[in-house]
Structure 1
């Protein structure tokens, strides 16, 4: 049979590819594998939330039926109230759609904004699933290089806009770099997008682990935010609901009415148990989330304490779940990443998986997802990196 050529031309998912590097490798008991390749929580939700999920599964028949295409009314209202309070603006329930995770929020929004032959601007390094979706739908990705602090600039993006440009996509805190974009950076991109009549899509999957107290930006405080801004969110990281697949898109009601067509065709509705879990979490777990944030910020500090002083291992970006580091070896990052498995028992993703070929920063970059390793493991990671030498790599 013949396969879709754009699918064949799309890169393979990086995480499964990296996990294949483990095949046939033995890790001695005194040096077990340190897996820093993926940020998804490995622990289940807190027991109180699991009990709420079990209660809904047993006693709420609605949990097993189709729901509204754009999400449960109660959950949409809760998200709208949370966004309004958190950002000091106004979001109505009709400006919220519940999706099957944040990845699906992205593809639904992109399917609504852009088609074959259109263009979307992504800062590099980019989140690989964003690039993969654009590739498999025939939308051209236009790379926007970041500065050495891993921050993109609206002035650089302006020169890349053409009559085929449909959106600029920003991820903050960033995956893969961890960089937290300053409010003025986001405002400049909003002003540029508005002036050029395109969308600014802001993926805020890691919003709840931002190091800045309060709102990380003032985009939603703008009374006309929905003429330009689209915010994406994930409940998966905040409440450990990765397997339940529940996320959100916050946008104009006009855009969401069009996006409803994609939702109805692709998934009909987001997982109902996941939606009920997200609603229960938003209403009951604010203190628990604050504790999770404090733990992530402590692990971020541990990365600074232990990896920051290592000779040659420069931290280019750090925040939320990720550290983006430049290695000291005279070898491309994909080669170094494979040898880290063999020689240090460390599985990390090379930055070449997040950028176009030849990107100068990513050629020597590694993404370290530190959210699932504690302070002692971060210290051990630093010891293993220090033990690697340019001669061995």
Structure 2
């Protein structure tokens, strides 16, 4: 008997990690430090919530079905802002609004792949990308990164077969935090174009990139839509995680195929969330700039405090956006270590085994720390606890 689609993949990692908390108590003087999930823990800023409350009362359309590919005004705003930010030409017909960035990835894969096809993704990977590929009957082809956690286009070229349909990258990266250089993304674009496949670039964390100016020149290419599919999340930018609002920027042909998927799954994106995202784009630029600076300061705090554990054999493999990715020095697999950290250090973090195929041993020595949920003081406490570990 064949397995169901969902049985073809693993359990949701964040939910699995939360179950490690069952039956564990944390004393008042050592509360749990939760660095497991890459999501804001605060609600949207008060002015946005006030605007959303007004939308609920004053805008009847906020409660009804809308266009499958999203609110026209939001699509227009994304096309205009992206064109200016990236120095390219993007039209609203090349923008779709989705129910979160995960759905954008699922829609993109559904639009370009058939069962038995292959998609190349760097290792370590974002686990939800692997889960969707599993459930869609698509083979994940892992591309090992170098010591700098940046994938190499020449290495990817050797993995392309006649079943390869896309290469999917995330920058700034989840789980490593690394910001891929512009030339790296251009090299992958050139490879994908030459081999007739798509390049998917998930830029969920673009608003927290440490670089100024556009992080790449992919949209400056006048023929960008023959190869590039970009994904984005409003959830991280405006703390709209519970409202599920993302975006997909691609050719009109790809979006026509994606529309079939989106109509079947959700019919239309969340109407209130879309209106909130548009309001944020129109009113919260200064606020978002401040949020970016705060995340960059927390990144600096990670780097400044890492010396507390470096001399014990810990290594910082990557750091940026919401994440630090580390190698631990202990003689145990990272999934065992992560569960021990809950009870013995009051830390909930995800092990590298959740970001690697089981056959890749590297994941057993790695951990992801999602530091966007803790401030400078919390980061200092985190490293103090890690430094005190005795295994």
Scaled to the shorter chain, the TM-score interval is over 0.9
Matched residue SS, 2:214: coil
Q: 2-side partners of 1:115 and 1:31: how far apart?
A: 50
Q: 1-side partners of 2:19 and 2:183: how far apart?
A: 41
1:373 is matched with: 374
Residue-by-residue CA offset, 1:109-163 (whole Å, 9 max, x unaligned): 1110112100000101000000000001100000000111111000000000000
Deviates more, 1:200-209 or 1:355-364: 355-364
Count of aligned pairs between the two proteins: 389
Q: 2-side partners of 1:31 and 1:264: how far apart?
A: 47
1:146 and 1:153 in contact (8 A); partners too:
yes
1:332 is matched with: 333
Deviates more, 1:303-312 or 1:231-240: 303-312
Q: 2-side partners of 1:62 and 1:153: how far apart?
A: 47
Q: Mind listing any 5+ residue stretches in structure 1 that lack a counterpart?
A: none
Cα 1:155/1:309, change in 2 over 3 Å: farther
Q: How big is the shift at 1:31?
A: 0.6
Q: Which aligned pairs between 1:49-68 and structure 2 lie closer than 5 A?
A: 49-68=48-67
1:308 and 1:314 in contact (8 A); partners too:
no
1:128 is matched with: 127
Cα 1:86/1:308, change in 2 over 3 Å: farther
2:308 and 2:384 in contact (8 A); partners too:
no
1:351 is matched with: 352
TM-score, length basis structure 2: 0.98
2:97 is matched with: 98
Matched residue SS, 1:376: helix
Q: Which aligned pairs between 1:83-232 and structure 2 lie closer than 5 A?
A: 83-232=82-231
1:277 is matched with: 276
2:308 and 2:383 in contact (8 A); partners too:
no
Q: 1-side partners of 2:250 and 2:81: how far apart?
A: 14
1:385 is matched with: 386
Q: Which aligned pairs between 1:32-51 and structure 2 lie closer than 5 A?
A: 32-51=31-50
Matched residue SS, 1:166: strand
Q: 2-side partners of 1:231 and 1:82: how far apart?
A: 14
Q: 1-side partners of 2:153 and 2:363: how far apart?
A: 21
Q: How big is the shift at 1:308?
A: 4.1
TM-align CA RMSD: 1.0
1:28 equivalent in alignment to 2:27: yes
Q: 1-side partners of 2:266 and 2:6: how far apart?
A: 20
